[in-house]
A = this chain, B = another copy of it.
Amino acid sequence: MGRVTIQQVAKAANVSPSTVSNLLNGRTERMVPATRERIEAAIAELGYRPNRAARQLRTGRTQTVGLIVPSVGNPFWGAFARELEVAALAVGCSVLLCNSERDPERERRYVEELWEDGVRGIVLCSSLPTLDHLADVVARGLRLVTFDRPAQPGDPDSVVSVSIDNHVGGFLAGSHLTSLGHERLTFVSGSLASVNRTGRFRGFCTALEAVDLDPTAMPLWTGFEDTPFGDVEAAEVGRRAAHALFSGTEEPPTGVVAINDMTALGFCRGLRDQGLRVGSDVSVVGFDDIILADLYDPPLTTIRQPIARMAALALGEVLDDGDREPGRSVLLRPELVVRESSAPPPVGGVPERRTAEVRASDLRASDVSTTDGAVR
With the chains together, A295 CA to B268 CA distance in Å? 8
A36 contacts the other chain (CB 8 A): no
With the chains together, A5 CA to B78 CA distance in Å? 37
Question: What residues of B have a CB within 8 angstroms of the CB of A95 in the complex?
Answer: 97
Min CB distance, A243 to chain B, in Å?
A: 14
Min CB distance, A14 to chain B, in Å?
A: 26
With the chains together, A280 CA to B72 CA distance in Å? 34
For window 279-303 of A, CB contacts with B under 8 Å fall at 291-292, 294-297, 299
Are A1 and B140 also in contact (CB < 8 A) when A72-B81, A96-B96 are? yes
For window 247-276 of A, CB contacts with B under 8 Å fall at 265-266, 268-269, 272
A74 contacts the other chain (CB 8 A): yes
Question: What residues of B have a CB within 8 angstroms of the CB of A117 in the complex?
Answer: 52-53
For window 63-97 of A, CB contacts with B under 8 Å fall at 71-75, 77-79, 81-82, 85, 94-97
Min CB distance, A289 to chain B, in Å?
A: 13
Question: What residues of B have a CB within 8 angstroms of the CB of A98 in the complex?
Answer: 85, 94
Question: What residues of B have a CB within 8 angstroms of the CB of A266 in the complex?
Answer: 295
Are A268 and B297 also in contact (CB < 8 A) when A77-B78, A97-B81 are? yes
With the chains together, A75 CA to B291 CA distance in Å? 9
A22 contacts the other chain (CB 8 A): no
A173 contacts the other chain (CB 8 A): no
Question: What residues of B have a CB within 8 angstroms of the CB of A235 in the complex?
Answer: 291, 295
Min CB distance, A107 to chain B, in Å?
A: 13
With the chains together, A56 CA to B57 CA distance in Å? 9
A152 contacts the other chain (CB 8 A): no
With the chains together, A321 CA to B329 CA distance in Å? 48
A356 contacts the other chain (CB 8 A): no
A232 contacts the other chain (CB 8 A): yes
Are A99 and B118 also in contact (CB < 8 A) when A57-B57, A291-B73 are? no
With the chains together, A297 CA to B278 CA distance in Å? 10
A27 contacts the other chain (CB 8 A): no
Are A291 and B232 also in contact (CB < 8 A) when A52-B116, A53-B57, A296-B296 are? yes
Whether B116 contacts A49 by the Cβ 8 Å rule is yes
